[in-house]
Chain A
Amino acid sequence: MAAIEIAQVTKRFGEFTAVNNVSLSVPEGSIYGFIGPNGSGKTTTIRMIMNILLPDAGSVAVFGRHSSSTARDDVGYLPEERGLYKRMEVRRLLRYYGQLKGKALKDIDPVINTWLERFQLSGWANKKIEALSKGMAQKTQFISAIVSSPKLLILDEPFSGLDPVNADALKDAVLDLRRQGTTIVFSTHDMTAAERLCDRIFMIFKGNKVLDGTLNEIQSTYGHDTVRVKVAGGRAALAAATDPSTIEAMNDFGNFQELRLTSDPQRFLQSLVQKTVVEHFELTRPSLHDIFVRIANPSAEDLKRPVSGAD
């Protein structure tokens, strides 16, 4: 059974279609990365999974159950912009979040103790949130999402704003949870993290699903046409030796250039060696970053659009 089964889901806010006929199946025990530019529909999709929003069409099932509070109890959620009750003590807050998920205190307390210890927060259990540093508050927030030992954990931008040490601590925690069988969905703008952590990647753009598969599958779909080239004389010599119509895009790394070609790489190499000295030629797979940029290619208009709750 899939942890999440989204079938032909559409969600509109007035005239605006936030999510358009999207289907997705998240296998149990996997780490699924949600990527997409701001305002593309990630948070709306997540909110429908969380049963905070109801779809206008289609269906969302979590562990085979449709929009019931029992399904919701199996899901831990860390929203994008994080806040905690500033004047609540750490332990009281974590207990409250656990109880709201229908768990008994006797089940919650050991989990709290384990995680506080792991994040070196044991000494802060009875301190108020406002006394914590930012990093500690972020870790506390993470614990609040997993305090009910959820079978599915949804993290909206979990690594944004974290320093490298805390980001690593969280990534390790995510991997550990997966090892214990937790299904994890996280949305991110950090393409490196997505590449490193995710079993599968889902990209939504302007409400439509544009990518869904393993990193391998995605890269091989987009990977035939990218080459890294180094010629004697550098970028100027390369430009002189090539026909501009054969190059769709160029990324200059200084020592070498990465080209996205419109023609077959073999033929391109043949033509290049006739004109200049090729020092290095490598067929590469595009990074997730490149694929993202290629799909989203944010126009000025997109960048101006405010980030709203109706993401």
Chain B
Amino acid sequence: MNRIFIVAQSEFLTLVKTKAFIIGLLLMPVITAGAIGFQIYAQKHSDRDDHKFVVIDHTGVLFTPLQTAANAFNAKNGEGATRTGPHFVPEAAAAPADADAYRLALSEQVKQKQLFGFVEIPAGVVDPNVEKAPSIQYYTETPSYDRLPDWLQQTLNEEITRRRFDTAGVDQALVKKLSARADVQTMGLVGKKADGSVEKAKEVDPIATFVAPFAVLFIMFLSVMSSAPQLLNAVIEEKMSRISEVLVASVSPFELLLGKLFGVTAVAVLLALVYFLGAGYYMIYSGRTELVQPALMAWFVIFLICCVLMFGSMFLAIGSACSDLKDAQSMMQPVMMLLMVGYIGSFAVLRAPESPVALTLSFFPTSAPFIMMLRMAMQPTPPLWQPALSLALTLVTTVGFVWAASRIFRVGVLMQGKGATFREMLKWIRQA
């Protein structure tokens, strides 16, 4: 037992001292925040060009209001160094004799970057009597840029609607008032207070509904991903440099395997705790103490331990059976896929937490730690028998995986030469 601890301690220290871990631990939140910040900044600041476009206005009435709206838009985005967005510069079209030739000429101008694009507004758009208004054509070389067409659609339609109402002699302000929409508000259920009176239902908030469960899932995934796969590299390094021979001359392969698994599990738990502490601090700081749930944390830690042990054993078994990293890369693909099932499946589960897919994934041992935790962090929480059964299945599977891995590890860690196939690994498991 003592030696298992010594191996675990060494494994833990080795992993915790790696730059990757320290960066992952300390900088991960910083990098995430930085990335979001940069994205916002880039969106605001990268698009600061003048976009000149020609407007072929067959209605004859829309160009002037469009230009007015463009001026307002440009003014809002500022001028010179303090400018925060693009300027839209509409230009009235000449009256062309040949429409097709004119479109071709404009297209050439766009290609030569003299224009950003051009818009053709059919005459029928302002007619209040047409059943379906003809569409406005926007011609561009850069269809991925959607700010200009979005702005055109909104600005032109506001003006078109106003004109149709005017033509029909309807007061637009009255229509707006009469057609005001009633929103649907999503509420939680009504409960009873301690004194027996009815407690008012609370409005469902997106943080509790989506953000918190997803954060729980993400922390689980992150903790497993940054710990268990490390075992693969560690074992292959030891094997290739014959360190494993020295280790096995001091401790039994099973002690070595358990020590490594425990060391890596400790790393995963440490990582998760640090993230939860951060999240918990933030919740308390922002007055959302009801989101800090110690019982959920306890379930999380147990599921996390099982998950790391399960995947850690798989990586150890593969590492011990391979002769080099290249060999291992291909063999670890199925394990990585198994690891991803829980993560990818979570998107379906988030939408329908009680669907058959969600139930299956909650009881399938390799995805259970992810999916069951996700569901437990969501509303409605599953009945207690579900996480209990899920945990029982996961525990049994974990024990099975560790056992099988120890059988493979025992043979594989001393093997030199070519790596083993999955079939050979199965044979090693069955061998007495």
Q: Does B415 touch A at the CB level, under 8 Å?
A: yes
Q: Once the chains bind, are A96 and B241 in contact (CB under 8 Å)? A: no
A80 at interface, CB cutoff 8 A = yes
Q: How far is the CA of A81 from the CA of B415 in the complex (A)?
A: 14
A259 at the A/B interface (Cβ < 8 Å)? no
Say which residue of B7, B241, B414 sits within 8 Å of A82 (CB atoms).
B241
Decide yes or no: A77 and B240 within 8 Å by CB, A100-B7, A102-B3, A309-B417 being known contacts. no
Residues of B within 8 A of A87 (CB): 14, 18
CB nearest neighbor in B for A78: B246
Among B77-85, B248-256, B290-298, the stretch in contact with A? B248-256
A144-B246 contact given A82-B241, A96-B6, CB 8 Å threshold:
yes
| Interface pair B10/A83, CB less than 8 Å apart | no
In this assembly, does A155 line the interface, its C-beta being within 8 Å of a C-beta of chain B?
A: no
Please name all residues of chain B whose beta carbon is closer than 8 Å to the beta carbon of A84 when the two chains form the complex.
Answer: 241, 243
* Known contacts A84-B243, A309-B414: A75-B3 contact under CB 8 Å: no
Any A CB within 8 A of the CB of B72: no
Which A-chain residue is minimally distant from B239 (CB atoms)? A83
The B interface, classified by DSSP as helix, strand, loop or mixed, is: helix
- On whether the beta carbons of A51 and B249 are closer than 8 Å, the reply is yes
Q: Chain A contacts of B237 at CB under 8 A?
A: 83, 85-86
Q: Is the CB of A79 within 8 A of B242?
A: yes
A114 CB–B CB distance under 8 Å = no
Give the residues in chain A near B13, CB-CB below 8 Å.
92
Q: Contact at B414–A52, with CB atoms within 8 Å?
A: yes
Known contacts A52-B248, A52-B414, A309-B416; is A100 also within 8 Å of B242 by CB?
Answer: no
A285 within 8 A of B: no
| CB of B266, distance to nearest CB on chain A (Å) | 16
Give a binary string over A118-155; 1 marks a CB under 8 Å from any B CB, 0 the rest: 00000000000000000000000000110000000000
Per-residue CB proximity of A92-103 to B under 8 Å, as 1/0?
A: 100011011110
How many interface contacts (CB-CB < 8 Å) are there between A and B?
67
Return the chain A residue nearest B6 by Cβ. A99
| A84-B241, A87-B14, A88-B14 known; A100 vs B251 contact (CB < 8 Å) | yes
Q: Does A50 contact B (CB under 8 A)?
A: yes
Contact B243 A83 (CB under 8 A): yes
Q: How many A residues are at the interface, by size bracket?
A: 20 to 34
The answer to the question of B245 belonging to the interface, with a C-beta cut-off of 8 Å to chain A, is yes
Q: Is B247 an interface residue (CB 8 A)?
A: yes
The CA of A102 and the CA of B2, in the complex, are separated in Å by 8
Q: Is B414 in contact with A83, judged by CB distance below 8 angstroms?
A: no
The answer on a CB contact under 8 Å between B246 and A77 is: yes
The smallest C-beta distance from B355 to any residue of chain A, in angstroms, reads: 47
B6 touching A100, Cβ below 8 Å: yes
Q: Are B416 and A96 in contact (CB under 8 A)?
A: no
Q: CA A144 – CA B249 in complex, angstroms?
A: 13
Partner of A52, one of B2, B238, B241, B249: B249
Query: Once the chains are docked, how many angstroms separate the CA of A88 from the CA of B14?
Result: 8
Residue numbers in B under 8 Å from A145 (CB-CB): 246
- Asked if B246 and A97 make an inter-chain contact with CB atoms under 8 angstroms apart, the answer reads yes
Tell me if B14 and A100 are in contact (CB < 8 A): no
Contact A72 B241, beta carbon cutoff 8 Å: no
On whether the beta carbons of A100 and B3 are closer than 8 Å, the reply is yes
Which residues, 180 to 222 on B, are CB-close (under 8 Å) to A? Answer: none
- Contact partner of B250 among A81, A83, A86, A100, CB < 8 A? A100
Chain B, residue nearest A83 (CB): B241
Question: Apart from A53-B414, A69-B251, A81-B242, what are 14 other A-B pairs with CB-CB below 8 Å?
Answer: A52-B249, A72-B249, A72-B250, A79-B246, A82-B242, A83-B241, A84-B241, A85-B14, A87-B14, A92-B13, A99-B3, A100-B6, A145-B246, A308-B416
Rank and list the top 9 A-B pairs by shortest CB-CB distance, nearest first.
Answer: A83-B241, A309-B416, A100-B250, A77-B249, A50-B249, A79-B245, A99-B6, A81-B242, A79-B242
Q: List 12 A-B contacts (CB under 8 A).
A: A50-B249, A51-B249, A52-B249, A69-B251, A72-B250, A75-B249, A77-B249, A83-B237, A83-B243, A99-B3, A100-B250, A308-B416
